[in-house]
Amino acid sequence: MSATVETLARTERLLVALDFDGTLAPLTDEPMAARMLPEAREAVTALAALPDTTVALVSGRALPDLRIIAEHDDDSALLLAGSHGAEFWTGGQAEATDDDAEAMALRDELRGKAEGLVEPWEGVWVEPKTFGFAVHTRLADEVTSATATEAMDELVRTEAPRWRRRLGHNIVEYAFRDEGKDTAVRVLRELTGATAVLFAGDDTTDEDALASLGEGDLGVLVGDRDTHASLTVPDIPAMAALLGRLAGLRAQAPRPGGLSRTDTA
């Protein structure tokens, strides 16, 4: 049974794991221009300041890029999971980089070929990823987008058939690492000792994490489509309002022994 916001607020140790693009920050034509909406940042900051509460950003972005767009410095209270759970920032350090020289060499070779392929197509570009690359088609017309995606699929299918393919909002991503956001949630749950998890996302790449949640957890979809989430909100401001509500309820939630968190301040 999925938790409600009210029951989640009372859990002993809470993990709030949040996708970034489309969940906290509007989607943009220039990926590195993405930033949290002010109300989303305010809610995230309020949650991260509470006792026994951990907030993590879980993204398909490469970890260095995620740190930039999240405006995340070394003193931040937020944990990070980048590359769909293949990279982590926990307590001031980056973890889980890959030293597979052969895989990295193939990544560079295919990325170069992909960049050459997209040159004739207006509105299509390649984004380097730690463990592969992504092809953006947000600015392309429908025919060009389909043509580019088909060409990239053929390239990877031919030269790297074991790579994982992910399809998102006007983007297709290829990677030699297989982790999904369910991996990120599992690792973060174990790291923090969380007794319950809220995970929220907007894209199909978030479904791995939403499907992995268990009894007492809460999955939230930002948008309107078929989903494993038990709760949906229409947009980022509504997501920020939900997080703010959770922060307010948790600030007043009784501690063991009957004291609220504000009583112990």
The predicted pLDDT at position 264 comes to: 42
The predicted pLDDT at position 95 comes to: 61
- Report whether pLDDT(81) > 60: yes
Confidence of residue 252 (pLDDT cuts 50, 70, 90): very high
> Of 202, 143, 199, whose CA–CA distance to 169 is shortest?
202
* Residues 94, 177: Cα–Cα separation, whole Å: 17
> Of 159, 158, 116, 162, whose CA–CA distance to 135 is shortest?
116
* Residues 97, 88: Cα–Cα separation, whole Å: 9
> The tokens 């007043």 sit on which residue?
252
User: Are the C-beta atoms of residues 132 and 107 closer than 8 Å to each other?
Assistant: yes
Task: Give the number of other Cβ atoms within 10 Å of residue 111's Cβ.
Answer: 18
- Report whether pLDDT(265) > 60: no
The pTM is what? 0.88
The predicted pLDDT at position 259 comes to: 46
Indicate the fold that domain 5-97+180-264 takes in CATH.
Rossmann fold (3.40.50)
* Residues 15, 45: Cα–Cα separation, whole Å: 14
State which amino acid sits at residue 86.
A
The predicted pLDDT at position 255 comes to: 54
Domain boundaries, the chain: 5-97+180-264, 101-175
- CATH number of this structure's domain 101-175, picked from the four choices 3.30.70, 3.40.30, 1.10.3470, 3.30.300: 3.30.70
